[in-house]
Amino acid sequence: MKARIKVTLKNGVLDPQGKAIEGALGSLGFSGVASVRQGKLFEVELAETDPAKARAALEEMSKKLLANTVIENYAVELDEK
Amino acid sequence: MIPNDVRITPELIAEHGLKPDEYQRILDLIGREPTLTELGIFSAMWNEHCSYKSSKKWLRTLPTTGPRVICGPGENAGVVDIGDGQAIIFKMESHNHPSYIEPHEGAATGVGGILRDVFTMGARPIAALNALRFGEPDHPRTRHIVSGVVAGVGGYGNSFGVPTIGGEVNFDPSYNGNCLVNAFAAGLADADKIFYSEAKGVGLPIVYLGSKTGRDGIHGATMASAEFGENSEEKRPTVQIGDPFSEKLLLEACLELMASGAVIAIQDMGAAGLTCSAVEMGAKGDLGVELDLDKVPCREDGMTAYEMMLSESQERMLMVLDPAKEKEAEAIFVKWGLDFAVIGKTTDDLRFLIKQHGQVMADLPIKELGDQAPEYDRPWIAAEKPKPLDPADVPAPNDIGDVLTRMLALPDMCSRRWVWEQYDHLIQGNTAIGPGGDAAVIRVENGPKGLAFTLDVTPRYCAADPREGGRQAVAECWRNLTAVGAEPLAITDNLNFGNPEKPDIMGQFVGCIEGIGDACRALDFPVVSGNVSLYNETNGKGILPTPAIGAVGLLDNFEQRVTVAFKAAGEAIVLIGETKGHLGQSIYLRDIAGKTNDRSAPPPVDLAVERRNGDFVRTEIRAGRTTAVHDISDGGILVALAEMAMAGGLGASVKPDAVLPLHAWAFGEDQARYLVTMPEKEAEAFIARAGKAGVPATRLGTTGGNELTLNGGVPISLTGIKAAHESWLPAYMAAGAEL
Amino acid sequence: MKSAVVVFPGSNRERDMLRALETITGTRPAAVWHADRDLPDTDLVVLCGGFSYGDYLRTGAIAARGNIMPAIAKAADRGVRVLGVCNGFQILCEAGLLPGVLMRNAGLKFVCKHVDLEVANADTDFTRKYEAGQVWRCPVAHGDGNYFTDPETLKRLEGEGRVGLRYAHGTNPNGSLNDIAGILNERGNVFGLMPHPENMIEPLNGSTDGRALFESVLEAVA
């Protein structure tokens, strides 16, 4: 079973990298970019076949390692095909 | 007969960078058509980068021995005795082409490669420096390359944990399409525990250690020997990615392994990875090598023999281990979490035998792969000897203070703080003189010895007069080491030139080598390692000839070191050396008078005078009779004086020469000169001692105040010049803020 | 005083730290490998600088979940002094032994230079040999030293005197909240800081002002 975990900075946490990217987009001529926030994407392959169990495991992984919940949010997406 | 399912066509041969006569040589050597894997192996071994086929003839003319030289060129790095059973191991190497294509990773892997060269020989790296040359600041790609290269150099060295303590940064239009990244590293080892690449013993296991092999940098070494064209962007996939974390583990594992006595021979996988390292180990030891590629740890599925043999994945080592200690070695690999595998063995048949899936993919004579590489005596034309410039022909400035301020803010003259503050120059806790002075000094762990390091070359001098430029590069290194109180030991050379198939470029190369040889012999300063980077051209235009020299010096006690900064007010400033006001090829002429294409002669280098003046200055420093010393180079006396003042936060009042035009005195770049300070009461005796030694010494003035004053004229504020000096580079980089 | 320096894959200032501790305490510190599960008997545990696990994922994140960490947390519970320098500070935050997080420097670049540190609280086990308000020079060398935490925690840190060191005189090199250079845990026995006092202990370093930090611990455990 395949899954994706998106880790993004919480609102209100300064993201200097996102700001720099925003500036770079502007200087490349992309107008109208209101804001950019940089995050991380993890692609995970699981042996687990039960979606509920898989989701629970992924939540644990996110909390324990993949995201630092002081500054980051995470979202688990399960590929249930 | 080895199965070969790919027909070797003339196009394929050309794609491998082999000339028709070189291919004929292969056919004659093996008596049959090569397999694709074999063709790849030959192309890797016989390209310019690995075989030095255009340069070998000239490199042989350089002095490479001396009483302190333990190992000269030919190994991963040079080894020099520093007494007390210790040795310094060092080398400089280019990573120019990869850095132009992908600045961050190109520079990072350049640093990684040179660090590996040093620790492969058993040394713990203690210093890294780098000579960086970029296109003109206004060129659209320059800022992007500067930012990427500096971040790449820093990112690798900082994480690996070696202090990056100096180097050079220059800008010139000739590097617009071909930046230069020359990385230097030095490491410390016990003189009786140096490790070499020569394999010894038949039937011993060949062990692969480090990161897994991927498709990175396939044909990187061939790329490094090809000129760039408009489509060089397409070469991006061949650039390797560096992993300083793995390299740090590799360092610790290798040093632990070496201490265990398990290592018989070791070689890092650099350019053309597995091929060059395995051939070198076998050929040096008069042994054959048999490899089973099914055993090689791979990162990707379905890699072919061709790909594995040419992969330039980073952070990998090959070694021959003592079978009796295999278990012990295995425990060390496991502890550091590194991939390892026994991938082959040494044999007695002098063949380089490569197997995969039970089939022979290559079967070549191992000695001939290296020994029989083509060697060329390329035709060359010596450049016409340039004529000296009369200072009277160079326009004088109206306001000398204004010119000094502008000079200190030039791209080639401004402070490099923006660069070196991105480098951890303090790690290991032994930095005695950090970046920004004449030479950097590192205390040898636990003291009291110190080692001094510098990188120098003045490409515009080399372009105007290659031989004089070659001498000057070596002499300036020698002078910079002397100026901190060190005894110059030996050098490494990193020779960056254009296309050697052009006689005028080859003439530059020959001239520079002759000049380097002159200086090395006159100064007892042997070449112990080096690297040649040719074909640095874009669309047929070569770079300025840039034979970068890296040099190492020794202090018996690091406490003897002296820095450029003025130390106290009221001290005497003395000029050592003769000032003739030589403005030919000077920064003043090029950047202030605007004569960018001037053909005049660079300052001549009198090596006997260089030695006499330097030996005197060093003796005085070591006797503790100087408080600050600075060599005079780019920009002349006034720039050197300003640098000493800015570093010390103290001004000076000086009296220029009464006869020479002021600008020639202030900005002339005559060689073999130093500025020295000492307490006022000791000045007379100092000058008398100089006189006795036959060394010209002139009382120039006195330190003090917050300004530089010439002959009581309009004072030049230190605050003003410092602001100009410090702000150009950060402002330039900020103007194009990008990632 | 007995001390122990924890070494992770990618640690690179362990030699600097071992030398500083030996010079100042007169006793050779133990080097503890990250894969171990037990600490030797010690008065001070030090997590040193470096790029543990290559700074991959987040600085300190992987090391913070290493085998040795539960033993360090337990020792901290018992009152053993724990010092985290640079990457060590990042690890302590990731491990939850200190609040907050070290984010990418505001300037987005690695920065190595000397800064001025102001002793914000001289009444701690790690700063008692300094004067309150004393300013001393110390090197920093990091790419992620930008201290961040939620306003609530920040208020508590400030209110409880748990900011031990601050960047002084506008020398904040990384955009850290309230110019924070080093903080303590609630109990006051765990201290994390970004600067490198271990590189400021002998005349060669330009000053010996970093010694007082280690001497403070020495006095505290005596």
CA distance B307 to B215: 7
> Quick one: which of B577, B527, B518, B533 has its CA closest to B551?
B527
Closest to B78 in 3D by CA, of B62, B101, B58: B62
Q: Where are the domains of chain C?
A: 3-221
| The pTM of the whole model exceeds 0.80 | yes
* Catalytic residue ranges of B: 49, 95
Residue numbers in A near B738 (CB within 8 A): 20, 23-24, 27
Q: What is the pLDDT of residue B233?
A: 43
HEC string of B438-454 equals CCEEEECCCCCCEEEEE
B-chain CB neighbours of A27 within 8 Å are 736-738
Q: Rounded to the nearest 10 degrees, how much is the dihedral formed by the CA atoms of B465, B467, B468, B472?
A: 120
Please give, rounded to a whole number of angstroms, the shortest distance from the CA of C155 to a CA of chain B: 33
Exposure b/e, B431-449, CB count within 10 A at least 16 = b:
bbbbbbbbbbbbbbeeeeb
Mean of the pLDDT values across residues C150-178? 96
Q: How many CB atoms lie within 10 A of CB B727?
A: 15
* C-alpha–C-alpha distance, residues B706 and B709, integer Å: 10
List residues bridging with B585 in a β-sheet: none
pLDDT number for residue B303: 86
Q: What pLDDT score was predicted for residue B1?
A: 45
- Across the A:C interface, residue pairs with CB atoms under 8 Å apart total 36
Chain B nearest CA to A2, separation (Å) = 20
**Angle CA B706–B712–B717, to nearest 5:** 25
C198 interaction partners in chain B (CB closer than 8 Å): 429
pLDDT bin (cut points 50, 70, 90) of residue C159 is very high
Neighbours of chain A (3+ CB pairs under 8 A): B, C
The whole-angstrom separation of Cα B636 and Cα C23 is: 44
Identify the residue with better confidence: C57 or B510: B510
Single out the residue of B87, B91, B58 nearest to residue B73, CA to CA: B91
pLDDT of residue B738: 47
In this prediction the ipTM stands at 0.97
Residues in contact with B24: Cβ distance below 8 Å, sequence separation at least 6, in sequence order: none
d(CA B79, CA B121): 9
**Are the beta carbons of B48 and B54 closer than 8 angstroms?**
yes
Helix (H), strand (E) at residue B361: strand B359-365
A14 interface with C at CB cutoff 8 Å: yes
Q: A17-21, A74-78, C166-170: which has the minimum mean pLDDT?
A: A17-21
Q: Which amino acid is at C204?
A: L
Predicted pLDDT at B572:
98
Q: Calculate ∠ Cα B539-B545-B550, nearest 5°.
A: 130
Homologous superfamily of domain range C3-221: Class I glutamine amidotransferase (GATase) domain (3.40.50.880)
- pLDDT reported for residue B739: 40
Interchain CB distance below 8 Å, B737 and A24: yes
Q: Quick one: pLDDT at residue B6?
A: 78
Closest C-alpha among C1, C25, C14, C4 to residue C211: C25
Cβ pair B737:A20 closer than 8 A: yes
C14 touches chain B (CB under 8 A): no
Name which of B158, B252, B445, B738 to mutate to probe chain C: the one with the most chain C Cβ atoms within 10 A of its Cβ.
Answer: B158
Q: Which residues contact B619 (CB under 8 A, 6 or more apart)?
A: none
Could you report the average pLDDT of every consecutive run of 10 residues in chain B (739 residues)? Answer: 73 89 93 92 89 92 97 94 97 94 92 95 97 96 95 96 97 96 98 93 93 75 51 51 90 95 91 88 93 92 88 89 92 90 94 94 92 90 92 88 97 97 97 96 94 98 98 98 98 97 97 98 98 92 96 97 98 98 96 90 98 98 98 97 98 94 96 98 98 98 97 92 97 75
Percent of chain C as helix, strand, coil, to the nearest 5: 30, 25, 45
Alpha-carbon separation of residue B586 from B7, B162, B282, B597 (angstroms):
56, 35, 50, 12
Place of tokens 């230097």: B184
Question: Which pLDDT does position B237 carry in this prediction?
Answer: 47
Average pLDDT, chain C: 96
* Residues C205, B91, B487, B632, CA torsion sign: negative
Task: Please choose, from the candidates B617, B640, B639, B618, the residue with its C-alpha nearest in 3D space to the C-alpha of residue B630.
Answer: B640
Give the pLDDT confidence score for residue B735 in this predicted structure.
86
Q: Of the listed C86, C93, C118, C142, which one is catalytic?
A: C86
Catalytic residue check, C86:
yes
Q: Under an 8 A CB cutoff, do A17 and C150 touch?
A: no
Q: What is the domain class of A2-79 according to CATH?
A: alpha beta
Min Cα distance A17 → chain B (Å) is: 8
Asked if A21 and B737 come within 8 Å (Cβ–Cβ), the reply is no
CA distance B144 to chain A (A): 12
Residue B375 phi/psi, 5° resolution? -135, 130
Q: Is C54 helix (H, G, I), strand (E, B) or coil?
A: helix
Question: Residue C144: is its pLDDT beyond 70?
Answer: yes
3-state secondary structure C63-78: HHHCCCHHHHHHHHHH
Amino acid sitting at position B704 = G
Q: How far apart are CA B90 and CA B552, in angstroms?
A: 8
Q: C111 touching B, CB under 8 A?
A: yes
Residue from the list C61, C146, C149 with its beta carbon closest to the beta carbon of A65:
C61
**How many residues would you count in chain A?**
81
DSSP labels, B8-53: --HHHHHHTT--HHHHHHHHHHHSSPPPHHHHHHHHHHHSHHHH-T
Minimum-distance CB partner of C104 among A17, A65, A66: A17
When pLDDT is cut at 50, 70 and 90, the band that residue A68 belongs to is confident
**What pLDDT does residue B244 have?**
92
Contacts with C102 from chain A: Cβ below 8 Å: none
Q: Which pLDDT score, from 0 to 100, does residue A70 have? A: 82
Which of the other chains make 3 or more beta carbon contacts under 8 angstroms with chain B?
A, C
The answer to whether the Cβ–Cβ distance between B738 and A17 falls below 8 Å is: no
**CA of A27, closest CA in chain B: separation in Å?**
9
Residues from chain A contacting residue C104 (CB–CB below 8 Å): 16-17
For A24, nearest residue in chain B (alpha carbons): B738
Which residues of chain A neighbour B737 with C-beta distances below 8 Å? 20, 23-24, 27
The residue extents of the domains of chain A are 2-79
